[in-house]
Structure 1
Amino acid sequence: MASLPDASANVKLGKAFASSRDSLRQDMEGGGGGAEGLNTVTSNGQLFPTPSRLDDGHDGDLLTAIEDRDLQRGLAQRHLSMLGIAGSIGTGLFLGLGFAVQTGGPLGALLGYAAIGLVVCAVQFALGEVAALLPVTGSFVRHAEFLVDPALGFAIGWNLVYGNMLSIPSEITAICVLFQFWTDINSAVFIVVFIVLTVGVGLTLVRVFGEVEFVFALLKILLVVFLVIMGLIINLGGVPGTERIGFRYWQDPGPFVEYIAAGDWGKFLGFWSVMTGAVFSFAGVESLAMAAAETRNPRRAIPRACKRVFARIIIFYMLAVLIVGMLVASNDPRLDGSGDNVAQSPFVIAASAAGIPGIASAVNAIVITSAWSASNQSLLAGTRVLYGLALKGQAPKVFLRTTSWGTPYMCVGLFTCFMFLSFMSLSKDAITVFWWLVRLTSAGVLVSWSSILFNHIRLRQALRRQNIPASRLPWQNWWTVYSSPAALVMCIVILFTSGFSVFTKDNWDPATFVSAYLDIPIVLIAYLSWKFLRRTKIVSLDEIALKDAFEQAEQYVEEPEGKKKGWIRAVSWIWD
């Protein structure tokens, strides 16, 4: 068994992590169920000092006694990598790409996704550096409390809960759109079925959840590879009876689409309009660290997953965007469901045009499972953030209740209530509701990415102020000092311009304006309200307890990593 870490260091670090302890004490009193005895034994055999019942979750180790006792470390590094892939390959890729090509043109869509891909790169590496040092449930939400201000952690946390609450019905609404490819059965049937399935997976063991999403992620990767190969075959005239397309659609209607305005300015606006959909498409990659307290060897697994997921997602998305731009014309009415057409995935459009029997239906079916998988991932991320908020006294303590197998079932129950927002598609065109939810979700994602980047900037500033070399970080990269500020500026600019179309002549639309900008006042009100009520202060760079965090990180004993044998070694490159 590992030696007992210094108790005073852990207590001091816990105090720093919850600097508003005195104001939060009343919220937690009597809640959470403190640990009985002096120590909590972690899954790898380490002992952590457990404070009194009143302080449980506030003054203890960075990994608080409550989460270490009530949650189970059931996620391995392969689960994290595939969770990141599963969460980000959903309707944003399979359905949203059609809108990107339609408004930006094939080249505009490719450039737009490339720009957001660079931002995602910066976000992933920033998250990996901070989460490797501070692997806690809630990830960057609790990092914001430790590195910036408890009020910011409160605001970002509830914003993330709200964003994931909307992300799930957006995926279910997209499923309704996709089912219209086959049938005109009332969408309520599909909504109920997928709500039940999502809740069922959300209540299982986290390890079972990880295995389910692991399989789904493999299916998605195989689907993307298949679609890219199929797209190339169709494009090059490899299907009997079809002619070679090549880059025909890059010539006519053209590589860019004029959006709202004419000329080069209109083409730029078309390119910029791709940004919001691209953000939604990449949403989910940042949530792989949300369940850090349920992850084995988090200081090794999280950085590895951040690095691997980024590389694979960029490759998949760039190839997919390129192929879609070659297969479908930007003026195809089936991309947005105009007239008598139902909105379809561009891949389904291409397969139908090629006349390949059964391919269109098979692709549509796997796209539907991908949407469901993305909703599962949003449920995991959102419920763990809500649990983390309750842990710090920033949400009702009822959300600390877990099943005997470690699932926060009250958190799942709250998210279930918001899944019924997908019934909005019954009274309004489903694709319209889908894009409302996309804009709402994208704004929340941009706020989350901004928080991750700002947390990282604060961490690096604190390291310099306290004369601690960055080389002591469990994982660090020299370029993140430059990439984080640049990506933060980009996120803020996209956030404030995401609804630019409503400010142009004759294009005012209240629903679009609200869905694009509602998140900004929500976050500001949450931040200022908690700051006023609890009188929190921005943490001084000198007072951030980094030395204690490093001491704890260096005392952490990782479980040994077994060597892969047999056939698994041939495919493990996907996640390792």
Structure 2
Amino acid sequence: MARERSRQSSAEPSEMSPLLSDAGSSSHGGASNAPVAQPTSGLHRSLSARQVQMIAISGTIGTGLFLGTGKSLAEGGPASILIAYALVGFIVYVTLLLLGEMATQYPVAGSFNAYATRFFSPSYGFALSWNYWFNDAVSMAGDLTAAQLVLQFWGVERGWIASLVFWVFLVGTNSINVRAYGELEYWLSLLKVLTVIVFIILGILVNVGVNTDHHYIGGHNWHIPEAPFVGGFGGFAKVFVTASFAYGGTESLGITAGETKNPSKNMPRVVKFVFWRIILFYVLSILIIGLNVPWDYPNLSNRSTTTSPFTIVFQQAGSSAAASFMNTVVLTSVLSAGNHALFAGTRVLYGLATATPRQAPPIFAWSTKQGIPLPALLLTSSISALCFGASFVGSGELWGWLQNIVGVSNQLAWLSIGLASWRFRRAWQQQGRALTELKFHSRWTRHWAPGFVIVAVCFLIIVQGWSSVIPHFVAVDFVSMYVEIFIMITMYVAYMLLRRPDPVEPTRPGADTGEREAPIRRRVWYSDLVDTKTVDLTRDEYEEEEEDKHDDDKREQRLGSGRWRLLWRLWYLVV
């Protein structure tokens, strides 16, 4: 059945934002018709497929892998870290399949925040959007704090100066244009990918005897005292939140959909490769870390410092220069992660300011001629001042707290993607459209994926705080684990109460006398859950432009025939 579809163009920024707050028609009325805040220029579709692919990799390989695995190993042991990271990785992959399904159909600014608003609840979408903006802002603070930890390898005492320099560099780069962000992310990510591959090869050699002690390690570190499960179930459960921190950022690849060329083709390509990246970069790397690095390695993770297991393995190979190089790569990964968090947080705040009704001050909808939401960028980056608190509580401890906060916030984002997908699929089918009509759809997740993500993430959130309650209640750990949940619930309830519909004064039967009944009392509570039977499914659906079709034809021509087709296949596979 033919349906009218709205065309989205980067030249008209006002068309990119309505999805963020479009709730369709709920059981208690449609969304407000308040005017949209008009940005000066709007976002630009300037990210190439090459850059988007690397942005997705950057979300997978970051500070959590290079540095956070040391904390996880020290707290849970080699078996706990391997099982927990594999389980969370599978949950993340299924979640990204659901996100890719929606982002391909509706590639707009705001991503999963927009989908939660449109298909689940405007109040929930409001709370989620602000929560995720805070997550990105705190992530940048965490990355700058991590930079201080990495610099301790070289004996740098005043790490806050380096953090300040990195802050200025990242803000300056993101102030130029989106291509500058994409290009910086591409090359930093390429360096990380090559380093992980070298690490896997070197780690295997170290394990079989190519190390400073010239002895076969094998599975010895799985049998030392308290290993392989350090701290029992509490230690195992605690790894979930650090694993969630490590995988955080993968879901924000949907945020780039609003600035991606030909998203209907490029977004599915990105999502499909995430599984192999998880297997290669996380599962293999963590297996090698658990085999080569004992969980009780000195200064692996404590109040004042955290050491990267990657650097330790390079040291075991017997080369101080190689260890310094690895530590340099870890430092660049910190920059890359901070760059990624700043970009995503800026776009989330921009989406809030361009929503209908507006959910952030209109100043944050202003953007430069180059498509940079400068006020949103400056506010997001200002939160990173938290990193300078490291000198008071210890860099290692502060980074642990920030890890917990960001990890739980990531889990709330994954939960929200599951909720939005559940309601989106239900609306799609209730309005007579088959799932096969979607531009991108994973058949093997058709019947169970949204429910699985919702249940699995709820399980993680509940279980991971085990060690903060049993056997002794640790207030600081408990707050860092669950403060995000309480804040989000408060914002959700407050926004819903503030947006309650005003009471109506109905006319009595035969009211020609002009008499009216007393006003109805305003209800204390109401639900703004979106009505899936009436929500608009055609607005913001993307249609390929002529430039997109030209790029597709060029790609098919390169891959289809000619003497260089094998090289082109290898090129597209790599980039």
TM-score per shorter chain, which class? Answer: 0.7 to 0.9
8 Å Cα contact 1:18-1:146 kept in structure 2: yes
8 Å Cα contact 1:131-1:139 kept in structure 2: yes
Counterpart CA distance in 1 for 2:391 and 2:329 is 23
**Unpaired segments ≥5 residues, structure 2:** 8-13, 501-526, 559-563
3-state DSSP of counterpart to 2:306 = coil
> Cα offset for 1:77?
2.1
Amino acid at match of 2:574: I
Match of 2:462 in 1: 496
Match of 2:243 in 1: 278
Match of 1:574 in 2: 574
Which of 529, 538, 542 in structure 1 is aligned with 2:533? 542
Bigger drift between 274-283 and 529-538 goes to 529-538
Bigger drift between 389-398 and 16-25 goes to 16-25
Match of 1:73 in 2: 45
Q: Does 1:165 align with 2:137?
A: yes
Counterpart CA distance in 2 for 1:128 and 1:176 is 35
Counterpart CA distance in 2 for 1:106 and 1:408 is 44
Match of 2:518 in 1: none
Match of 2:449 in 1: 483
Counterpart CA distance in 1 for 2:239 and 2:245 is 10
8 Å Cα contact 1:124-1:310 kept in structure 2: no
Counterpart CA distance in 2 for 1:410 and 1:484 is 36
8 Å Cα contact 2:60-2:277 kept in structure 1: no
3-state DSSP of counterpart to 1:560 = helix
8 Å Cα contact 2:353-2:361 kept in structure 1: yes
Counterpart CA distance in 2 for 1:357 and 1:131 is 45
Which of 177, 197, 200 in structure 1 is aligned with 2:172? 200
Counterpart CA distance in 1 for 2:467 and 2:452 is 25
Match of 2:350 in 1: 387
3-state DSSP of counterpart to 1:226 = helix
Match of 1:450 in 2: 415
Counterpart CA distance in 2 for 1:519 and 1:240 is 45
8 Å Cα contact 1:103-1:257 kept in structure 2: no
Amino acid at match of 1:293: G
Bigger drift between 81-90 and 440-449 goes to 81-90
> Cα offset for 1:549?
4.4
Match of 1:17 in 2: 22
Superimposed CA distance per residue, residues 440-475 of structure 1 (whole angstroms, 9 cap, x where no aligned partner): 001110110011111111111112222211000001
Q: Does 1:100 align with 2:72?
A: yes
Counterpart CA distance in 1 for 2:6 and 2:69 is 53
> Cα offset for 1:23?
7.4
**TM-score, normalization by structure 1:** 0.85
> Cα offset for 1:137?
0.4
Bigger drift between 129-138 and 481-490 goes to 481-490
Counterpart CA distance in 1 for 2:65 and 2:6 is 48
3-state DSSP of counterpart to 2:154 = coil
Amino acid at match of 2:249: G
Q: Does 1:362 align with 2:325?
A: yes
8 Å Cα contact 1:106-1:256 kept in structure 2: yes
Which of 4, 13, 32 in structure 1 is aligned with 2:38? 32
> Cα offset for 1:150?
1.3
Amino acid at match of 2:429: R
Amino acid at match of 1:451: S
8 Å Cα contact 2:239-2:464 kept in structure 1: no
> Cα offset for 1:505?
2.7
Q: Does 1:245 align with 2:211?
A: no
8 Å Cα contact 1:128-1:475 kept in structure 2: yes
> Cα offset for 1:24?
5.2
Which of 185, 191, 205 in structure 1 is aligned with 2:157? 185
Counterpart CA distance in 2 for 1:236 and 1:464 is 55
Amino acid at match of 1:17: D
Counterpart CA distance in 2 for 1:102 and 1:184 is 24
Q: How does 1:454-469 map to 2 (within 5 A)?
A: 454-469=419-434
Tell me the percent identity.
Answer: 32
> Cα offset for 1:6?
7.2
Q: How does 1:371-386 map to 2 (within 5 A)?
A: 371-386=334-349
Bigger drift between 352-361 and 158-167 goes to 352-361
> Cα offset for 1:280?
0.5
8 Å Cα contact 1:23-1:534 kept in structure 2: no
8 Å Cα contact 2:132-2:409 kept in structure 1: yes
**Unpaired segments ≥5 residues, structure 1:** 34-65, 260-265
3-state DSSP of counterpart to 2:153 = coil
**For the aligned residues, what is the CA RMSD?**
2.5
Match of 2:194 in 1: 222
Which of 379, 389, 407 in structure 2 is aligned with 1:424? 389
Amino acid at match of 1:560: H
> Cα offset for 1:571?
4.1
Amino acid at match of 1:312: R
Amino acid at match of 1:323: I
Q: Does 1:513 align with 2:519?
A: no
Distance 1:472 1:494, change over 3 A: same
Superimposed CA distance per residue, residues 111-139 of structure 1 (whole angstroms, 9 cap, x where no aligned partner): 11110011011111000111111111011
Q: Does 1:326 align with 2:291?
A: yes
Bigger drift between 160-169 and 471-480 goes to 471-480
8 Å Cα contact 1:87-1:378 kept in structure 2: no
Amino acid at match of 2:194: L
Amino acid at match of 1:162: F
Superimposed CA distance per residue, residues 223-270 of structure 1 (whole angstroms, 9 cap, x where no aligned partner): 1011111111111112465222111112224652241xxxxxx2x333
Counterpart CA distance in 2 for 1:512 and 1:239 is 38
Match of 1:53 in 2: none
Q: Does 1:399 align with 2:390?
A: no
3-state DSSP of counterpart to 1:218 = helix
Which of 99, 117, 137 in structure 2 is aligned with 1:127? 99
Amino acid at match of 1:236: V
Counterpart CA distance in 2 for 1:168 and 1:525 is 24
Amino acid at match of 1:384: R
> Cα offset for 1:554?
5.5
- Whichever of the two has the greater Rg, that structure is 2
Match of 1:352 in 2: 315
Distance 1:22 1:409, change over 3 A: farther
Counterpart CA distance in 2 for 1:404 and 1:527 is 35
Amino acid at match of 1:385: V
Counterpart CA distance in 2 for 1:25 and 1:459 is 22
Amino acid at match of 1:470: L
Counterpart CA distance in 2 for 1:24 and 1:190 is 47
Q: Does 1:408 align with 2:414?
A: no
3-state DSSP of counterpart to 1:395 = coil
3-state DSSP of counterpart to 1:518 = helix
8 Å Cα contact 2:18-2:354 kept in structure 1: no
> Cα offset for 1:346?
1.1
Superimposed CA distance per residue, residues 526-551 of structure 1 (whole angstroms, 9 cap, x where no aligned partner): 111221112372111101222x249x
